[in-house]
Amino acid sequence: MLGQAIPTASRTADAQIGVGYSLAKPDYFPDRFPGFAIYGDLDFNLHLGVEAEFHQVYSTAGDKSFERTYDIGGRYFRTYGPLVPYVKAMYGRGTLQYPFGGAELGYNMFAGGAGADFKVTNYLHVRAEYEYQKWISFPNGGFHPHLLTIGVAYHVTGKPRYK
């Protein structure tokens, strides 16, 4: 007799929340801006999910300028053992504090990125990521920061959904 096992439970989603160190290269300024990131992922199936993130990076030249972004979007990922590479496309809002408090202006933005999470344990993941941003309607041809982020996340496994 041949038979197939019917799954008795499956996950509804996987989630993780993390923090990271970011280094930005804003094309409007000659210096690199260090700072931090907070991110969260919610993965719905084997390859698709959403990500929300916040970045705060600042000038170290003493001119009080900074860049702050909030964005959300989709991500596509694959799993190869403990390695989880991904790409993402996001939309959000960026705020730029001009040098010496000249102005603090906000712009809508698009972002694209690629990175990888590495599963250290079931609950601890480390991340390396590159992100490119395009700020819409920024004067003088636009604003296109590049960011590198190294982070660590707490991974929460979704609750089983019984069939």
Domain that holds residue 74: 14-157
For residue 8, is it within any domain? no
**Span 30-42, pLDDT tens digits:** 789 999 999 999 9
Residue 162 is assigned to a structural domain of this protein: no
Q: What is the mean pLDDT of the chain?
A: 88
Asked if the structure places residue 115 within a domain, the reply is: yes
Closest CA to 38 of 25, 24, 50, 55: 55
Residue 89 belongs to domain with CATH number: 2.40.160.20
The model's pTM is 0.85
Taking 80 as the threshold, does the pLDDT of residue 51 lie above it?
Answer: yes
Task: Return contacts of 90-94, CB within 8 angstroms, 24+ apart.
Answer: 90/51, 90/53, 93/69, 94/67, 94/68, 94/69, 94/70, 94/133, 94/135, 94/143
94 domain-assigned: yes
- Percent of the chain having pLDDT more than 70? 90
pLDDT in tens, 69-121: 999 999 999 999 999 999 999 999 999 888 877 788 889 999 999 999 999 99
Query: What is the total count of domains within the chain?
Result: 1
Q: Average pLDDT, stretch 144-149?
A: 95
For residue 5, is it within any domain? no
Q: Is residue 83 part of a domain?
A: yes
26 versus 94: the higher-pLDDT residue is 94
Q: Is residue 145 included in any domain, yes or no?
A: yes
More confident residue, 45 or 126: 126
